[in-house]
């Protein structure tokens, strides 16, 4: 069923705000989405009724808290079509990528090995691996992009051809270009050159807007974050093939992640608990469950259809403005909802400030993708990103704000 935006917006308290008497136009969901009441209620319910720690108590409150936390794990596993034993909760996607860097890459790669990544990665899916390469002496190669913002698959084939690529880190959807990458294709390329190549995907921008099946993608690990998919801040996850996770050693050590400890030895807990040291984010897990159920009720096919249609209108609106250049693919079937653009003669920060004065929230800056900014030949861009609660009513204020920025600032 198509999304009924006016009705849906009532579930999001922030969207009812006015800024200086103007309707709030929130076009920054690629940075962080808004939160529906159902998520706020789920977190509030935990704190008011079941407040206690998980996994440790035999009393009712502790059992309820444990149930909330473990239900979030099965909810997330169902949502991304994965095995709950492979779902490790982290505080965000950045920590999920670091977990992979510490628990797999740093223990397996060394001189002579190659890690393949791309020029369009968010720093979260690049810096942890670069850092490891600096310490361990393996090589990092980067898949370039084509002029229309797609990964250059011919170049990728060449980069894996010598069979030395043991690990691949690639975004499912770019937070700047919006490109939906063929991660399944990249995994196949890498494994054709080397059967045991491990493929790690940054799914942060994909999970909020596309139906995702971890099993069908055929990759080894998949990072995501709660706050971009209607959930709270402070929770994310690394989804890993359980067989691979079983072979991985812990990243953080302490309580919860052990089976037994003596004064001079330790054995690890079973997966996924082995990777969740200390008291976890219990309220946030309850909130994430509620967010997942909210998305499931709408249906991810409907979310994707809405996003695709609105992104088409957004692209049309932006390209109709004199002096505006849009980055990324124009083919909507390979594009997500983040649209980065430049306004000739106007600094992106001035575009953002003018839009803000009109109640329109967009992102400006390098979007934590400095290498990609260099490839595009810019220091920064403005980025508008629509989500399920946006509709075409949000576009005229965006266009008017950009035109006002041009009239005021363009030299
Ligand atoms: C593609 C991508 N990867 C990773 C991240 C990092 O997410 P978090 O800040 O929740 O760790 C972001 C956030 O903007 C992102 O867009």
Q: Which residues contact 220 (CB under 8 A, 6 or more apart)?
A: 198, 199, 200, 240, 241, 244
- Model confidence at 410, pLDDT cuts 50, 70, 90, reads confident
Residue 19: per-residue pLDDT: 86
pLDDT of residue 356: 96
Q: What is the Å distance from ligand 1's center to 55 Cα? A: 29
Any idea which of 92-106, 133-147, 251-265 has the lowest mean pLDDT?
251-265
Over the stretch 137-189, which tens digit does the pLDDT of each residue have?
999 999 999 999 999 999 999 999 999 999 999 999 999 999 999 999 999 99
300 pLDDT tier (thresholds 50, 70, 90)? very high
d(CA 241, CA 97): 15
Tell me which DSSP letter residue 335 carries.
Answer: B
Q: Is the pTM of this model over 0.85?
A: yes
CA of residue 95 to ligand 1 center, whole Å: 10
CA of 93 to the centre of ligand 1 (A): 6
For residue 403, the model assigns a pLDDT of 96
Q: Which atom of ligand 1 is nearest to the CA of 124?
A: 4
CATH class of 41-295: alpha beta
261 or 411: which leads in pLDDT = 261
Say what the pLDDT of residue 56 is: 79
Residue 20: the pLDDT is: 85
Asked whether this chain's domains 5-30+300-405 and 41-295 adopt the same fold, the reply is no
Mean pLDDT of the region 11-31: 95
Is the pLDDT reported for residue 99 higher than 80? yes
In terms of Cα–Cα distance, which of 10, 41, 24, 27 is closest to 291? 41
| Ligand 1 closest atom vs CA 226 | 10
Instruction: State in Å: Cα 155 to ligand 1 middle.
Output: 26
Report the pocket of ligand 1 as residue ranges, CB < 6 Å.
31, 92-94, 122, 124-125, 171, 175, 202, 204-205, 225, 236
Q: Whose CA is nearest to atom 13 of ligand 1?
A: 31
Which residue lies with its CA nearest to atom 14 of ligand 1?
31
Residue 328 has pLDDT above 80, yes or no: yes
Nearest atom of ligand 1 to the alpha carbon of 227? 10
- Smallest Cα–Cα separation from 398: which of 350, 365, 364, 352? 352
Q: State the distance from the centre of ligand 1 to the C-alpha of 204, rounded, in angstroms.
A: 6
228 DSSP assignment: G
Structure tokens at 339: 């649209």
Residue 378 scores a pLDDT above 80 = yes
- Ligand 1 atom closest to Cα of 121? 1
Average pLDDT value over all residues in the chain: 96
Q: Which pLDDT value is given to residue 1?
A: 85
- Under the banding of pLDDT at 50, 70 and 90, the label for residue 60 is very high
| Amino acid 8: pLDDT | 97
Residue from 118, 205, 210, 337 to probe ligand 1 pocket by mutation (most atoms less than 8 Å from CB): 205
Question: Is residue 319 predicted with pLDDT exceeding 80?
Answer: yes
Residue that the structure tokens 């076009």 belong to? 27
The ligand 1 atom nearest the CA atom of 367: 14
* Contact of 337 with 177, CB cutoff 8 Å: no
**Any idea which residues carry the catalytic annotation?**
368
Ligand 1 closest atom vs CA 225: 10
Closest protein CA for atom 16 of ligand 1:
175
Q: How much distance in Å is there from the Cα of 350 to the middle of ligand 1?
A: 24
In this structure, are residues 221 and 201 in contact, taking their beta carbons and an 8 Å threshold? Answer: yes
Residue reference for tokens 């250049």: 325
C-beta separation of 41 from 290 below 8 A: yes
* Residue 411 pLDDT exceeds 80: no
pLDDT in tens, 211-234: 999 999 999 999 999 999 999 999
* Domain boundaries along the sequence of the chain: 5-30+300-405, 41-295
CATH code that applies to domain 5-30+300-405: 3.90.1150.10
For range 127-136, the mean pLDDT:
98
Rounded to whole angstroms, the Cα distance separating 403 from 346 reads 11
Average pLDDT over residues 347-363: 96
d(CA 409, ligand 1 centre) in Å: 31
Mutation probe of ligand 1 site: the residue of 93, 288, 339 with most atoms within 8 A of C-beta: 93
Other beta carbons within 10 angstroms of residue 142's beta carbon come to: 18
DSSP 273: G
Average pLDDT over residues 114-142: 98
377 C-beta neighbours (distance < 10 Å), count: 6
Mutating to test ligand 1, I would choose from 32, 119, 121, 122 the residue with most ligand atoms within 8 A of its C-beta, which is: 122
Q: What does the pLDDT average to over 16-38? A: 95
């Amino acid at each position: 069923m198509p999304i009924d935006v006016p009705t849906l917006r009532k579930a999001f308290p922030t969207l009812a705000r006015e800024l200086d008497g103007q309707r709030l136009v929130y076009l920054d969901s690629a940075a962080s989405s808004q939160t529906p009441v159902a998520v706020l209620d789920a977190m509030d319910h935990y704190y008011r009724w079941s407040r206690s720690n998980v996994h440790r108590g035999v009393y009712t409150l502790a059992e309820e808290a444990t149930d909330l936390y473990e239900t979030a794990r099965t909810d997330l596993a169902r949502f991304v079509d994965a095995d709950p034993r492979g779902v490790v909760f982290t505080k965000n996607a950045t920590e999920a990528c670091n977990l992979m860097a510490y628990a797999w890459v740093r223990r397996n790669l060394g001189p002579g090995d190659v890690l393949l990544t791309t020029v369009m990665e968010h720093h979260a899916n690049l810096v942890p691996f670069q850092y490891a390469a600096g310490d361990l002496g393996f090589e990092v190669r980067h898949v370039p992009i084509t002029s229309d913002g797609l990964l250059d698959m011919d170049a990728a084939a060449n980069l894996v051809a010598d069979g030395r690529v043991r690990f691949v880190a690639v975004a499912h959807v770019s937070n700047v270009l919006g490109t939906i990458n063929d991660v399944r294709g990249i995994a196949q390329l890498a494994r054709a050159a080397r059967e045991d190549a491990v493929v790690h995907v940054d799914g942060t921008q994909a999970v909020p807007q596309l139906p995702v099946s971890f099993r069908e993608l055929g990759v080894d690990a998949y990072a995501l974050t709660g706050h971009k998919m209607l959930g709270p801040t402070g929770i994310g996850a690394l989804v890993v093939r359980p067989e691979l996770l079983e072979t991985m050693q812990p990243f953080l050590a302490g309580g919860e992640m052990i089976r037994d400890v003596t004064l001079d030895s330790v054995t690890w807990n079973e997966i996924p608990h082995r990777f969740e040291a200390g008291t976890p984010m219990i309220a946030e897990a309850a909130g994430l469950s509620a967010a997942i159920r909210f998305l499931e009720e709408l249906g991810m096919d409907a979310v994707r259809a809405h996003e695709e249609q609105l992104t088409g209108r957004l692209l049309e609106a932006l390209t109709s403005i004199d002096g505006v250049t849009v980055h990324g693919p124009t083919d909507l079937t390979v594009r997500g909802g983040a649209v980065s653009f430049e306004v000739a003669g106007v600094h992106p920060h001035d575009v953002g400030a003018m839009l803000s004065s009109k109640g329109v929230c967009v992102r400006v800056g390098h979007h934590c993708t400095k290498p990609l900014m260099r490839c595009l030949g810019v220091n920064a861009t403005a980025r508008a990103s629509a989500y399920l609660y946006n509709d075409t009513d949000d576009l005229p204020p965006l266009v008017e704000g950009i035109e006002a920025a041009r009239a005021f600032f363009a030299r």
